[in-house]
Structure 1
Amino acid sequence: MAKIAYGSAHVPLSPAVRAGDFIYISGQVPTLADGSVVVGGIEAQTRRVMENISAALALAGATLADVVKTTVILADAREFGAFNKVYGSYFPEQPPARTTLEARLMIDIKVEIEAIAYLPQK
């Protein structure tokens, strides 16, 4: 199992861990490199989360096309439609399996997403 890291972490976790042919991406939140939360509604926050997932995947040589499963946590289920429109734009063909739930998040944000990718090692 290989931990894949970038930058200085503010919390004790790895953004991505490779276990064989699978890459596990920790829950990504709508923050910028400096740790500040993206200003805006669910659409802007979803875009930032997806960009953060893409960056974590890139550390392992993977892309969103390699994602096979996501777990989405929304702070407010009433924002599902707006979230889903943005999320879907990142997976235009063969979207991954997904679980979506509503829960209070650890910081004042609207969305958190974790992902699992499959990319055979060379």
Structure 2
Amino acid sequence: MKPITTGDAPRPIGPYSQAIESGNLVFVSGQIPLDPKTGELVAGGIKEQTKRVIENIRAILRAAGLDLNNVVYSIVFLRDLSTFNDFNEVYSTYFNESKPARTTVEVSNLPREALIEMTVIASRI
């Protein structure tokens, strides 16, 4: 297992790695919408927070030599499922060619009261 780390994404807020590479797979830890420069939650609603989360994931994948087209599976946690359509609107601009398998669930709360958390698995193959 090889840890993946980049300063272009927020530092972990707990005892975990930004991502781990194992074989041909890269497992990106759950990302909430933290600004990588300030470590603070970005302002705005679900659209702004979704964009920041995916940009953070993109930066971590880039550090592993991959991009969003390598994502094979994503798990999305939304604090309010009524924001699903707005989330999808932003998500689809990033995953328009490659459409990974995905699970989306509503949760009662997320770290730092974020509206979204997302994790992905990417493949080198």
TM-based fold match above 0.5: yes
Alignment match, 2:52: 48
Percent identity between the aligned chains?
Answer: 43
Asked if 1:111 corresponds to 2:113, the answer is: no
2:113 match: secondary structure: coil
Cα distance in structure 2, aligned partners of 1:5 and 1:38: 21
**Is 1:86 the counterpart of 2:90 in the alignment?**
yes
Instruction: State the TM-score, normalized to the length of structure 1.
Output: 0.94
Distance 1:10 1:69, change over 3 A: same
Q: Distance in 2 between matches of 1:5 and 1:108?
A: 24
1:13 match: 16
Selected match of 2:33 from 24, 27, 30: 30
Distance 1:110 1:38 in 2: 11
Further displaced range: 8-17 or 20-29: 8-17
- Does structure 1 residue 68 correspond to structure 2 residue 72? yes
Q: CA deviation at 1:94?
A: 2.9
Alignment gaps of 5+ in structure 2: none
Task: Provide, for residues 86-122 of structure 1, a one-character-per-residue CA deviation record: whole Å limited to 9, x for no partner.
Answer: 00110111310000000021221110000000014xx
* Aligned equivalents of 1:109, 1:24: Cα separation in 2: 21
Normalising by structure 2, we get a TM-score of 0.91
Aligned to 2:2: 2
The runs of 4+ residues in structure 1 deviating greater than 6 Å are none
| 2:105 is the alignment partner of 1:101 | yes
User: Which segments of 5 or more consecutive residues in structure 1 lack a partner in the other structure?
Assistant: none
Does the aligned pair in 1 maintain the 2:6–2:59 contact within 8 Å?
no
